[in-house]
Structure formats: C-alpha cells, structure tokens
Amino acid sequence: MAKTYFAWYSTGEYGKVWFEADNEAHARELLEKVQVGEIAFEDLPKMDSKIKGGDGFEFDGLEEID
C-alpha cells in the first residue's frame, strides 16, 4: 500500500511537496529522479505542491505522513 511523504524543496524559493511512494527508499529514489531530470516534478505519484519558480530542484528532509 502506498504511503504519503513530504519533503521541503527549493527552486530559487522554497516550499513543500507531497507525493505517494511504496516506502521511504522508493520516495528517495523518486526525488533523485526529479533532481537529475529523469521525471518531471509534477509526475511524482499523487503530487501536490505550489511551485514558486526558479530552475532545478533541491530537497531537504523526507517524512512519512500518517
């Protein structure tokens, strides 16, 4: 069963992103794919966020949401 995770992100400004993954390892793998451009930020499973603008992505922390 998929779980919901969130991470802080920055693209010149900052915010939070929520998305679903099978487990923490899968969640980290998805964030790495966004960072290297393998998948688009908006293609994270069941993603929700408010993008402020800027280029590239940096993620800080990852937490599971109940």
What are the start-end ranges of the E strands in the chain? 3-10, 14-21, 48-49, 58-65
Q: What pLDDT score does 23 carry?
A: 93
pTM (two decimals):
0.68
Q: What pLDDT score does 29 carry?
A: 95
The pLDDT of 37-51, averaged and rounded, is: 85
> How big is the CA angle at 11 (ends 8 and 65), to the nearest 5 degrees?
20
The pLDDT of 2-13, averaged and rounded, is: 79
Q: Considering the chain, what is the average pLDDT of its residues?
A: 82
Could you give the 3-state DSSP secondary structure of residue 12? coil
The pLDDT of 20-36, averaged and rounded, is: 93
